[in-house]
Each structure stands twice: as C-alpha cells, then as structure tokens.
Amino acid sequence: MFDINLILLPLFGFIIGLLVSTLGGGGGGLYVPVLILIFGVTPQVAVATSLASVLPTTAVGAFSHYRQGNVNIRTGLILGIGGLIGTLIGANIANIIPPNLLQKILGIFTLIMIIPMLRSLLQRRQKLKEKNDDKEKTLTLTGPKKVIASLFGVASGLMAGVFGISGTPPVIAGLYSLGLPAAMVVGTSVFVLIFNSVAGIGSFYLLGRLDLTLIILLGGGAAVGAFIGPVLLKKINPKTIEKIYGPLLLSIMLIFGLGLILA
C-alpha cells in the first residue's frame, strides 16, 4: 500500500524551506510542530529530525543567498562560531535545568531582544527618510561589536541545543541590530544557522535519535524550497522589504516570547 507520507513530508519540507529562506532562519521552529502534530512523530525524534533537516535548508539557502549578494561572510562567521559553542553548551544545560524553567527563561530573553531591535528599526526608518536609496553597505565590526555579535550567536546556539530549534531569533536580532540591510539580515542568518545544525546533528547522533528516512524526505523538500526562496526575494523592492520586515519580525518575536512565558 502506498504511503502518503512519501508525498506529504517533502511537500511540507518544500513549503517550510520556501518560507524560511525568504523570511530568514532555518525552519527549526516549524519542523517540530509539523512532525509531532501532523505525522505523529515522538517529540525526541522530532527535535533530532528538525535539527538535521535544518542543514540542507540552511546550506542551500545560504548558497542561493550568497549568489544574490545577501550574505556577509565575516559577520556570519563570528555569529556562527558563537552558535556552535552555544549549541554544545545548550545540550548539557538541557540535562540540568527543568524544561519548563528553561522555556520561561527563553521567553524573557526573547522579549529583551526586542528592545535593541526596536531601537534599530526606528533609526533605520529615519535614515530611509533622509536617504532615497537602500544600497548595500559594508559593515565594520569593532572589538565591542564583535563581542556583541558573538553573544547573539551563543544565544542562538543555546536555543538550538536546549530546544532543538534552529535558533533564528537571536541571530536575526543580532544582525538587525548591527544595522545590516533587511535582505542581508535574511541571507546571513541562514548562513549562521548552518553552524547550529552541524553541532546539533553531532549531539543527537550520539544519542541515537536520528531517523534517516524522515530527514531525507523532509530535508530534501526543504532544500528545494530554500533554493527558490532567495530568487523570489531578489524580485521584491528592498524598500518594501524594509517596511514589512521589521514590524513583522518584532510582532513574531513578541508573540513567541509571551507564548513561552505563559505556556
């Protein structure tokens, strides 16, 4: 008898890959609920599959974004190394602190991250009024900025290691607060999350929780969607992205933060 999941898994993967490659991230926050609620996968396997499926999404998405000029490699490496370290630390923290307490801590941190993002959004809006273009600019990270960027990366890795998600919010918050153009925030965030995924795969492989069939079906569809997403993003006016991206991102993070605290 034909298994409908052979079609549905790649289809959902494609949709998620398309969404995250145009809005930023790796899709970890979407894979887990889809696997648990729709396909009946156990939470442990869903978390492991999510982190593994994020790798093709982020790898293909980052390559496609790089071709479109949307990746700041130097800044991405700083956050990525921090993310790798944070993921390894997060895996150990998960075994010490109760999940409910960790969830509330994450929610509080997410709400705190809104503050620098809101400040940056207001500054960028002012610049758009004063300047009538949105050209790519070169970001020079000084010592303090390097430290701040790496800390956002560590926070992202902690989310990945503890909760099995890609760790998108801290990465985007860090890049956005550093002043990168919206399209480059999206592309660079996808690149950064490769590090979280690799560290997460290694951790869960040692725990024996990787389901290769789920990973191939879901991750394969996601890779196709992640490749197409940046091409579509290139066709959108940068000013339109700037107007929509910030408010949308702040709203999502507010809902995400409050949901974690109140759940």
For 200-209, how does the pLDDT look when each residue is reduced to its tens digit (9 = 90+)? 888 777 777 7
Q: How confident is the model at residue 23 (pLDDT cuts 50, 70, 90)?
A: low
User: Which pLDDT score, from 0 to 100, does residue 129 have?
Assistant: 60
User: Which pLDDT score, from 0 to 100, does residue 191 have?
Assistant: 92
Amino acid (1-letter code) at residue 125: R
User: Which pLDDT score, from 0 to 100, does residue 81 have?
Assistant: 92
User: Which pLDDT score, from 0 to 100, does residue 242 have?
Assistant: 64
User: What value does the mean pLDDT of the chain take?
Assistant: 77
**What is the average per-residue pLDDT within 212-226?**
86
User: Which pLDDT score, from 0 to 100, does residue 16 have?
Assistant: 79
**What is the average per-residue pLDDT within 150-158?**
86
Q: How confident is the model at residue 254 (pLDDT cuts 50, 70, 90)?
A: confident
Q: How confident is the model at residue 136 (pLDDT cuts 50, 70, 90)?
A: very low
User: Which pLDDT score, from 0 to 100, does residue 107 have?
Assistant: 74
**What is the average per-residue pLDDT within 135-148?**
60
**What is the average per-residue pLDDT within 101-117?**
74
For 25-79, how does the pLDDT look when each residue is reduced to its tens digit (9 = 90+)? 556 666 777 787 788 887 677 777 887 888 877 888 888 889 888 999 988 999 9
Q: What percent of the chain has pLDDT over 70?
A: 76
Q: How confident is the model at residue 82 (pLDDT cuts 50, 70, 90)?
A: very high
Least confident segment among 20-34, 82-96, 207-221: 20-34
Q: How confident is the model at residue 135 (pLDDT cuts 50, 70, 90)?
A: very low
**Contact predicate 164/41, CB 8 Å:** no
Residue ranges covered by each domain of the chain: 5-262
Q: Is the pLDDT of residue 234 over 80?
A: no
User: Which pLDDT score, from 0 to 100, does residue 159 have?
Assistant: 80
CA angle 237, 238, 239 (to 5 degrees): 90
**What is the average per-residue pLDDT within 148-156?**
84
